[in-house]
Structure 1
Amino acid sequence: MLRYTLMRLGIFAGSFLALWGLVYVGVLPRGLGDSNLLWVLLLAVVVSAPLSFVLLRKVRDEASAEIVEKVDRGKARLAANRSQEDAL
């Protein structure tokens, strides 16, 4: 899960830097007044979300499978502990 989170942050940072460069060069419009940073942050969120969804599908599925395995092991331990308590 940490790997997925770091990769998602990397995609966001890359999107932010690319969009900041495009705004700086003048390809994209600047925000109103002092809102330029907020404008670029919002654009980076909008651009990085679908990119992360498509590019990190395999990593997300692997992380999900790991979480399901951990939950299943926890349920099995809980069931084993309950059966030991009942046997005593």
Structure 2
Amino acid sequence: MRLGIFVGSFVVVAALVQFGIVPKGLGASNFVWVLLLSLVVSAPLSFVLLRKQRDEMSAQLAPKVDQAKAKLDARLESNRTQEDGAVQ
């Protein structure tokens, strides 16, 4: 989806540059100028337009992350008790 937003913004920016609404880059840097301007435009658009998908993905990943943290904490605690037993 983000790639689609970038391609759409690239087309719009290229059209704006072609019609002279947005200034062209210096010399042969026109393509690079359009590419960079498209990145700058698409980033906030993606942030706003893809908020719902980002929240859904976060809701799916949060339980898995919590489970992995719990496993890691259990392993660390197990290692601590083993070390304490070895020292005494």
Selected match of 1:69 from 58, 63, 67: 63
Residue in 2 that maps onto 1:53 = 47
**Alignment partner of 2:27: what SS?**
coil
**Which 4+ residue blocks in structure 1 deviate beyond 4 angstroms?**
76-82
After superposition, what is the alpha-carbon deviation per residue over 1:49-76, rounded to whole angstroms, capped at 9, x for unaligned?
Answer: 1111111111111111222122123345
Instruction: State the distance in 1 between where 2:39 and 2:58 align.
Output: 23
User: What value does the CA root-mean-square deviation take over the aligned residues?
Assistant: 2.2
Matches within 5 A, 1:1-88: 7-76=1-70
Q: Could you say which structure has the larger radius of gyration?
A: 2
In 2, Cα distance between equivalents of 1:13 and 1:70: 33
Residues 18-60 of structure 1: CA distance to partner in whole angstroms, max 9, x if unpaired? 1011111222111001111111111111111111111111111
Superposition TM-score, scaled by structure 2 size: 0.72
- Identical amino acids, percent of aligned pairs: 63
